Structure 1
């Protein structure tokens, strides 16, 4: 699982349109900060990173009711005299921690960006060091191949229906009141509370993956409080489908990205070579998955402890996120093909999986209502299996939200072109999780508020990750100096 109301353009927003790239902002334009900073817990952190907690309403419709805590962090600007303001690092997921992102990303960011901003991270509501949430799911429901709804080998989804219904009921029961208040709109409201607590009239932001949608919702609901906004690896903001579109997009993204892996895995001289041609690599994978559908093989230490066709497909999806995943994926394919010992599996701690899963379920189900006609879903799965054999119908399948007992408290936000023209989208052409076709919908939604830098590269996440030097230069120029391309730009492969 991964993962907007119309906002009229106010006079302030229109003013920002003309001044978005003007003089630096005062250090604390909206008054004194209202958080108390202290040393962060954890190891391997930049010693300059400091942490704090911020109290916010659990339910913004009842601002005087129960409150929860948000964990926030920062690394101050390296050159206070050059400080422009705050760069908020919005994590992906939904359900990913972002508290340590200033340390994790700070060393990769160019000096000009580190000098211009305080780097600010946070754990979204329900996550990690913020007031946490758990569904207390059975251990097997946390298995990677159960986190996404892979159909049975013959396409039957009855097992998925049973699993997803159980997850929905368990999360609704054990997640309490907080899980009913985990949504992207509430994350945007939380971001604005962070802005206020930091004493800033405006914030810049760098959102990645699901963070692009959270960032887009924030720029839509609070346009007058945005400075420079970078959205990297963009989710489709379709206000009718929202996360349903993201799930469906895996089928497109995996097909877009697989040729990169197949070309690499067929290259002469590659010690991980699987076949002589890219087409032969694809045939090998499809045939091996089908064989494992019929006859799973033991995989000691994995959950469940066997390699099935769907576990192989799930491993493929994860392995396509960046080129560094290719050797591990090829090693598993070769071992399974040759009946050799499988490599040791790896998985995050169960506590982390419980937390991430709960936040993901809450966000997906509270953002938008999902269809619940099982016959219709089964029909869509059957069609998707034919069109996209690499993902075998999973992206069209049933999710816990089909059985969620609550209705979304807020309507999905519609991203529009109203507001300051201060958004830069950066997108790889071959992204397995947030494909280019979905990113184009984000670009269309923003209209003249945005420009788009498209990078002829593969993998999930572009800026300073799986993109290229051309794309990195353009994003850095925007963040550090406000120089945004006059037109949408394609960065060719390097």
Structure 2
């Protein structure tokens, strides 16, 4: 779960379906959305120490802290990695039900920013009843971000890419992808083997314990839905409620990732092509591309 560069990204305003989120308010034991991934064998890894969270004010009514978790969960007392976390406490302590974990998509988007940018759009009932919590997963944002290309190199790659590539574009695209991949390998140090989704799920379980929650209440969007599914398959008895928004098919994503995304790529490519066709035909209205929108 890496990002192309360490700069935090902003998100669109969150628009949640009331029916799905209502499940977070009323759910008891069990899940609001049933995970479909095959359960793993009972967890036999040693139990790491629970992180200690020293909360400090970080403006706007939010509290921030750092959580030290094992780099390698198979070696829980070995090297640590620090995760940046944020929360906003329940607006009505008398109605408090627990902590709502919010997980963005990506992979590679900041969970800290996700909470800050979308808190005000949560239903009032959720803001009253839950501490709203987020964090940057390992290798992302403020949690030891893995920087593959620096901003200058990344901007050049974007600038060099053509909206409508010609027949000679495939080779350069492969070369650029290989360069990006190699930069990730070169810059990752000891981090790269330990940024998979299973590690993220184990981090969530440690954070759940650090917050004093017996079970997890969770909202995950897009790739965050896959993280929630993996967590539920690993720790099914530790889930109170899940809302998986734009949920991934966990089997298809895990075993056929390129085929899984192909339909989305084709749809986006088709939409972009239709936009450029319209823009080329009506430059006075469109104004994009300085007379050559396909350039």
**TM-score of the pair, normalised by structure 2:** 0.72
Structure 1 residue 233 and structure 2 residue 246: aligned? yes
Distance across 1 between alignment mates of 2:283 and 2:219: 34
User: How far apart are 1:192 and its partner, in Å?
Assistant: 0.8
The answer (yes or no) to whether the contact 2:69–2:80 under 8 Å persists in 1 is: yes
The superposition leaves residues 12-50 of structure 1 with CA deviations (integer Å, 9 ceiling, x where unpaired) of: xxxxx98448xxxxxxxxxx983111112xxxx5x2210
Give the Cα–Cα distance (whole angstroms) in 1 for the partners of residues 122 and 237 of structure 2.
26
State which of 246, 249, 261 in structure 1 corresponds to 2:263.
249
Query: Shift in Å at residue 190 of structure 1?
Result: 0.9
**1:295-319 Cα deviation digits (max 9, x unpaired):** xxxxxxxxxxxxxxxxxxxxxxxxx
Name which structure has the greater RCO, CA cutoff 8 Å, separation 6+.
2
Indicate the residue corresponding to 1:218 in structure 2. 231
Alpha-carbon RMSD across the aligned residues, in angstroms, is 3.7
Match of 1:285 in 2: 276
* Residue correspondences, number: 252
Structure 1 residues 88, 245: CA separation in 2 closer, same or farther (over 3 Å shift)? farther
Q: Residues 227 and 148 of structure 1: is their aligned pair in 2 closer, same or farther, counting only changes over 3 Å?
A: farther
Alpha-carbon distance between aligned partners in 2 of 1:37 and 1:147, rounded to the nearest angstrom: 44
Q: Which has the larger radius of gyration?
A: 1
CA distance in 2, matches of 1:196, 1:92: 23
Change (3 A) 1:143 1:218: farther
Contact in 1 for aligned 2:84/2:135 (Cα 8 Å): yes
Q: Separation in 2 of the partners of 1:162 and 1:140?
A: 14
1:245 and 1:138 map into 2 onto residues whose CA distance is 30
| Equivalent residue for 2:88, pick from 57, 75, 91 | 75
Q: Kindly indicate whether residue 218 of structure 2 is the aligned counterpart of residue 205 of structure 1.
A: yes
Is the alpha carbon distance of 1:35 and 1:147 closer, same or farther for their aligned partners in structure 2, counting shifts above 3 Å?
Answer: farther
Tell me what 2:291 maps to. 339
Task: Give the distance between the partners of 2:192 and 2:152, measured in 1 at CA.
Answer: 20
Change in CA separation of 1:192 and 1:160 when aligned onto 2, cut-off 3 Å: same
Tell me if the contact between 2:146 and 2:184 (Cα under 8 Å) persists in the aligned partners. no
**What's the offset of the Cα at 1:110?**
1.6
C-alpha distance in structure 1 between counterparts of 2:284 and 2:202, whole Å: 43
C-alpha displacement of 1:331: 8.9
Contact 2:83/2:138 (8 A) holds in 1:
yes
- The Cα shift of 1:140 comes to 3.9
Matches within 5 A, 1:337-416: 339=291
Tell me whether 1:167 sits opposite 2:180 in the alignment: yes
1:97/1:127 contact within 8 Å kept: yes
Whether contact under 8 Å (2:279, 2:286) holds in the other structure is: no
CA contact (8 A) 1:236 1:245 kept: no
Contact 1:236 1:242 in 2 (8 A): no
- For residues 223 and 284 of structure 2, the distance between their equivalents in structure 1, rounded to whole angstroms, comes to 29
Deviation for aligned residue 1:73: 1.0
The reply on whether 1:39 has 2:52 as its aligned counterpart is: no
Distance 2:266 2:2 in 1: 15
Return the match for 2:125 from 91, 108, 112.
112
Unpaired runs of 5+ residues, structure 1, are 4-16, 22-31, 262-280, 292-329, 343-494
Deviation at 1:137? 4.7
Does residue 102 of the first structure (1) align with residue 115 of the second (2)? Answer: yes
In structure 1, how many angstroms separate the alpha carbons of the residues matched to 2:284 and 2:181?
A: 32
Looking at structure 2, the residues matched to 251 and 119 of structure 1 have their Cα atoms a distance apart, in angstroms, of: 33
